[in-house]
Copies of this chain bind each other. A is one copy, B any other.
Amino acid sequence: MTIELFCFGESGNAYKAALALELSGMDWTPVHVDFFNGETRGEAFREINPMGEVPVLRDGDVTLTQSGVMQIYVTEKTGRFGGGTPEEAREVMRWMFWDNHKMSSQAGMTRFLMNFLPEEKRPEGVIPFMQGRLKSAYATLDAHLAGRDWIVGEGVTNADLSCCGYLFYPEPFGFERAAWPEIDRWLANIERLPGWKHPYELMPGSPADRA
């Protein structure tokens, strides 16, 4: 049975799951959620996910939310991306939690405020504050990647697929790829993986659709 991923192109969290599914070679298909017209806030979607968030993964009887859980599910099913030893597995989880805690949560929100919310609704002061915190996160990641091709071990893992979630998007939110040479090199490694696709190619929906 084909796995369904409820998603939309603009969601970096959905991208993490979509990329894990795609690169693992699993049989999956994206199902577009019309976030920008309020679909995630409607009753029908709350039936699927009471947290009201995208992405949602459905594989027969199994329904998952939270991109990190979907990434772990891909690892359970395929043996890919989880790290090669118990030590690597813990290190992969560490960077996934760090990303959820310190990077993607703030990056996703800042990008939303700067690009998808009407200017008059943007809360005063929040964007520069968030950008300052994000700069610390980019610095941590950039320093870690010095001398490394991948965040953990010798190949791509869920740590990479989580941390890159928001970093390929073209809309401005304060991340300048050229300013972080180690992150830039690492993102190029990800782009060269067989089957890699940009979020707007991997999932339906993009700002161009609403232009």
Q: Give chain B residues whose Cβ lies under 8 Å from the Cβ of A124.
A: 124-125
Interface size class of A (residues with CB under 8 A): 20 to 34
Residue A192 interfacial (CB < 8 Å): no
> Binary interface profile of A, 103-128, with partner B (CB < 8 Å = 1, else 0)?
01100000000000000000111101
A120 to chain B, nearest CB (A): 14
CB nearest to A125 among chain B residues: B125
Q: Give chain B residues whose Cβ lies under 8 Å from the Cβ of A143.
A: 50
A8 to chain B, nearest CB (A): 18
- Given A101-B105, A102-B105, A94 and B65 contact (CB-CB distance below 8 Å): yes
Of A30-38, A67-75, A147-155, A174-182, the one touching chain B: A67-75
Q: Give chain B residues whose Cβ lies under 8 Å from the Cβ of A187.
A: none
Q: Give chain B residues whose Cβ lies under 8 Å from the Cβ of A24.
A: none
In the bound complex, CA of A64 to CA of B97 (Å): 12
* Residues A38-92 near B (CB distance < 8 A): 50-52, 62, 64-69, 72-73, 87, 90
